[in-house]
Structure 1
Amino acid sequence: MTDITKPARKPARPYFSSGPCAKPPGYSPEKLATQSLGRSHRAKIGKARLAYCIELMREVLGLPDTHRIGIVPGSDTGAFEMAMWSMLGARGVTTLAWESFGEGWVTDAVKQLKLEPTVMRADYGQLPDLDKVDWSDDVLFTWNGTTSGVRVPDAEWIPETREGLSFADATSAVFAYDIDWTKIDVATFSWQKVLGGEGGHGVLILGPRAVERLESYTPSWPLPKVFRLTKGGKLSEGVFKGETINTPSMLAVEDAIFALEWARGLGGLDALKARSAANAHALDKIVAERDWLGHLATDSGTRSRTSVCLTVEGADADFIKKMAKLLEDEGAAYDVAGYRDAPAGLRIWCGATVETQDIVDLGPWLDWAYASAKSA
């Protein structure tokens, strides 16, 4: 390998993984509240902390009182599958897929639930034609495709008078974009994305139309215990007040509370959006200044501001692995290789827990890694 001069300055926090993502600035485990640790989640203190976490999520998201928030098992995947298994089958289903997680919901609908959905696909970096979605169906989509760097532009394509329910996998979108909650019947996310929280827990948000579906429809297939949201034909309201279906990690709950209090202290959702936008802008500038870098999502209007996916001229999967390893070995950037099912490239998390200066400092290191990998 030719000796190529390394940049003098490294990102102070080289955490660019797209999940679990960077912790909030200033985080340390010693700063977590500990009064709920070692206690039952059903004890007064456990219930109070879970309810407080839900209250903080509502406050920071600006979620209206019409929508319920529940902490559920299985991260975003568990939350979304809980919604699918509990509510689908009452009418036709349309699934939108433009990246790997959307394809996962297609697989669930087709192979597991045997629903014969209408499937609308687009290649990585693109969106299907949203104007052609049939809203007499229930519609499943990812708001922000973590593995493709493509997002829906807004909620304007979702009609207020829809017949079906809207199911939004919003795990890389909440706390980063404005979401019109009047257009969302079901939304799911995990703390491990934009909040930089821990994995294993999902969040399920239900609008009134979703609650109506749950209380008026019983699926034909059996539901495992962790998917059951009703009892005696009525919504299990306790789930949305901190009475979780199974035992949560109170350590993970306290971790999420830390991140939410940090977000509230910054100024809430507007501040989080601004931080993410500044990070994405800094990365856009890096890309624009290099002819060997590009955006997988070519349309800036539907390009993610959180999980930004980049193309690298002439790179295959092995080349990207070399670049990522070089950066990791130097402590300059961790976990920047693109998702395994996506086209070969880099993926840089630009969510609010990342500092903009660290994105700026990453640019010269990308140059170094690219040149080093080419000369190897």
Structure 2
Amino acid sequence: MQPNVKPANPNFSSGPCAKRPGYDVSQLDLSVLGRSHRAPIGKKALERACLDTAKILGLPEGYRVAVVPASDTGAMEMAMWSMLGERPVDVVYWESFGQGWATDITKQLKLKDVKILSADYGQLPDLTQVNCDHDVVFTWNGTTSGVKVANADWISAQRKGLTFCDATSAVFAQEMDWAKLDVITYSWQKVLGGEGGHGMLILSPRAVERLESYTPAWPLPKIFRMTSGGKLTEDLFLGATINTPSMLCVVDYLDALHWVESIGGVTATIERSKQNLATLADFIATRDWIDFLASDPTIRSNTSVCLSLKLSAEQVKQVIKLLEQQQVAYDIGAYRDAPAGLRIWCGATIENQDLQDLLPWLEWAYEQVK
């Protein structure tokens, strides 16, 4: 029978993601709107975005945080174009975005000494084959495949190369070994439910050393430049952005950071996401028509949860359409390059009760189209 209780918030998109519980745009501090981002009031807000991020995440001493253009993609491109080429590169990917970094490295930067380790959707490459004396580029959590790395044990603490980690759907939701990571990027619109268009770039002291000691063979666009006269532009990591940011998006991000602190910090957001995954796992364990794309639970994402159904691709589309028509789940189709299925966001801004209320609808929709 058709369920009669609907999720209070049907937004289960994997990006942009649902806003935090209790979000009210009218409660944002809008005093920075209409002011220059270079005025003291604007720069202070941007500096808070950088420093509060470092504090809440518990980044190691000496790690720097900057707000940069063009979302997580811009932050990753900025880092790769500025620092790669000094030594060989190992690229590890198992989904579309990681594959995109491999394409940029081999076909745009045209680096020659590159080793690519890849796996199909739902799987993880053999990480023991990574050479940490090389630079290593990888995605901590594959947003389009629902597969994450279990930990950073495969990264050497004595590495000679830098680790470039696309962490956009992992940060604030998964335990990350910051000391093993030299370049970390993410975007606001994932686990924190922030707005799009801005990226976050985190650099370790080793990454800063690379920037100050190595000059790439190719020209760098202005929005990629992080040094001047061979020295790091420190102001970039204190709120002096390269281009003009949306201050409305900045205060929205600050609101999300305040929410994280108010519920107990990053430990609490990680736990919320884990609980959401557990709710789905309990449901799936008792049904034979739905399963995780990632069969190994140790590498299963607790944010972008990818599911396969015992249905044809066309039938899966019908399920998605039915759920949207009933206004119980929006934007939950698998990524266009991934196998046909569902992708349900389980990050910290998703209320567990909404997931509980969604599950009977999943079963109802399946029964309608099978």
8 Å CA contact retained: 1:169, 1:187:
yes
Q: What does the per-residue CA deviation read over 1:217-258, in whole Å, with 9 as the maximum and x for residues that have no partner?
A: 000011101110111100011110000000000000011011
AA in 2 matched with 1:43:
A
Q: TM-score, normalised by structure 2?
A: 0.98
- Counterpart CA distance in 2 for 1:324 and 1:45 is 45
Task: Look up the match of 1:280.
Answer: 277
8 Å CA contact retained: 1:276, 1:351:
yes
- Residues 114-133 of structure 1 mapped to structure 2, 5 A cutoff: 114-116=110-112, 117-133=114-130
Of 131, 135, 153, 2:132 maps to 135
**Residue 364 in structure 1 maps to residue 370 in structure 2:** no
**Residue 169 in structure 1 maps to residue 179 in structure 2:** no
Task: Look up the match of 1:178.
Answer: 175
SS in 2 for 1:314: coil
AA in 1 matched with 2:71:
S
SS in 2 for 1:163: coil
SS in 1 for 2:257: helix
- Counterpart CA distance in 1 for 2:52 and 2:317 is 39
Q: What does the per-residue CA deviation read over 1:351-373, in whole Å, with 9 as the maximum and x for residues that have no partner?
A: 00000011111111101111223
SS in 2 for 1:37: coil
Q: TM-score, normalised by structure 1?
A: 0.97
Runs of 4+ in 1 over 3 A off after TM superposition: none
**Residue 311 in structure 1 maps to residue 308 in structure 2:** yes
AA in 2 matched with 1:162:
R
- Counterpart CA distance in 1 for 2:316 and 2:203 is 40
- Superposition deviation, residue 321 in structure 1: 2.1
- Superposition deviation, residue 68 in structure 1: 0.2
**Residue 111 in structure 1 maps to residue 122 in structure 2:** no
- Residues 116-265 of structure 1 mapped to structure 2, 5 A cutoff: 116=112, 117-265=114-262
- Counterpart CA distance in 2 for 1:133 and 1:360 is 40
AA in 1 matched with 2:350:
V
SS in 1 for 2:111: coil
Q: Which moved more, 1:60-69 or 1:268-277?
A: 60-69
8 Å CA contact retained: 1:56, 1:261:
no
Task: Look up the match of 1:332.
Answer: 328
**Residue 99 in structure 1 maps to residue 95 in structure 2:** yes
- Residues 280-299 of structure 1 mapped to structure 2, 5 A cutoff: 280-299=277-296
- Superposition deviation, residue 62 in structure 1: 1.1
**Residue 41 in structure 1 maps to residue 41 in structure 2:** no
- Counterpart CA distance in 2 for 1:319 and 1:232 is 59
AA in 2 matched with 1:284:
A
Task: Look up the match of 2:14.
Answer: 18
Q: What does the per-residue CA deviation read over 1:174-201, in whole Å, with 9 as the maximum and x for residues that have no partner?
A: 0011211110000000000000000100
* Identity fraction in percent: 60
8 Å CA contact retained: 1:315, 1:345:
no
- Superposition deviation, residue 289 in structure 1: 2.0
Of 80, 100, 104, 1:84 maps to 80
AA in 2 matched with 1:271:
A
Return 5+ residue gaps in structure 2 as ranges. none
- Counterpart CA distance in 2 for 1:84 and 1:303 is 27
AA in 1 matched with 2:312:
A
AA in 1 matched with 2:41:
I
Aligned pairs, how many?
A: 369
- Superposition deviation, residue 210 in structure 1: 0.4
